[in-house]
Amino acid sequence: MSEQTIVGAALLGILEGLTEFIPVSSTGHILLAGHFLGFQSTGKSFEVLIQLGAILAILSVYFARLWNMLVTLPSDRGTQTFVGGILIAFLPAAVIGALAHSFIKDVLFETPMLICVMLILGGFVLLWVDRRQVEPKYTDAAKFPLSVYFRIGLFQCLAMIPGTSRSGATIVGALLLGADKRSAAEFSFFLAMPTMAGAFAYDLYQNRDILTAADLPIIATGFVFAFVSAVLVVRRLLDFVSKRGYAPFAWWRLIVGTAGLVALLVWG
């Protein structure tokens, strides 16, 4: 394990934390950056396992609210509905992710051109959705109808294609279904917890026979840097999108996707 590998893991960890909860595709950014940095991870597990740092960032920022939900869950109908909604939204991606795991990791993760195209297409979609002048039906992420939670979960399945963005798919889905910009982003936070935890556990299980002790320092480095940078994003994102919307992220997708396409065509 070289010092260059550790530095690469730290840079990719920072990139993961900064991009996981904004609609720009953290996986797409990490795979593209890893491609051009020459970073290789065992079974492409690094890119999934460091997401645990981002999960813990949500837990730390939302600890008080999550603890209150845990305490009131047995007796409060509203809490029960919200938790049930999160689980309902999580199920479609859990099923499809398990069934298509090998195809996603062995084919889609290895196609940087696809990632660039999806970044660009997603940028145009995000611009269109952000500019729609529609009166929102829902302003509280904890009070969406169960049918809306389920349909947001279906949108999340689009993120199986790297470059689409898990948060981007869920946010766009929520906006199209009547949520305002702040509640769409907040529900994306909550849905990230079971989704990313499930992806982490399943990927760890699938690669249990090929991961070695030599992989641990690399993954741990990415995890720590992902946690720190994700905390900064989670604390500020809701206020940012309430004031600025999602257009800045759409333009970022277009810039990165286009730059990636040019770089691939020039350097391969």
Structure tokens at 166: 């898990």
Distance in angstroms (rounded) separating the CA atoms of residues 88 and 150: 6
C-alpha torsion sign, points 168, 170, 176, 178:
negative
Pick the closest to residue 212 from 41, 48, 98 (CA basis): 41
Indicate if the pLDDT at residue 88 is higher than 80: yes
- Residue 43: per-residue pLDDT: 64
Residue type at 26 in one-letter notation? S
Instruction: Report the alpha-carbon distance of residue 230 to residue 61 in Å, rounded.
Output: 10
Nearest to 223 by CA among 40, 80, 48, 24: 48
Residue tagged 């949108």 (tokens): 155
Q: Which of 110-124, 132-146, 204-218 has the lowest mean pLDDT?
A: 204-218
Q: Count H helices and E strands in the chain, helices first.
A: 13, 0
As given in the structure block, the two tokens for residue 5 are: 């590998």
Q: What is the pLDDT of residues 193-212, one digit of tens each?
A: 999 888 888 888 888 888 88
Q: Check: pTM over 0.85? Answer yes or no.
A: yes
How far apart (Å, rounded) are the C-alpha atoms in residues 242 and 40?
38
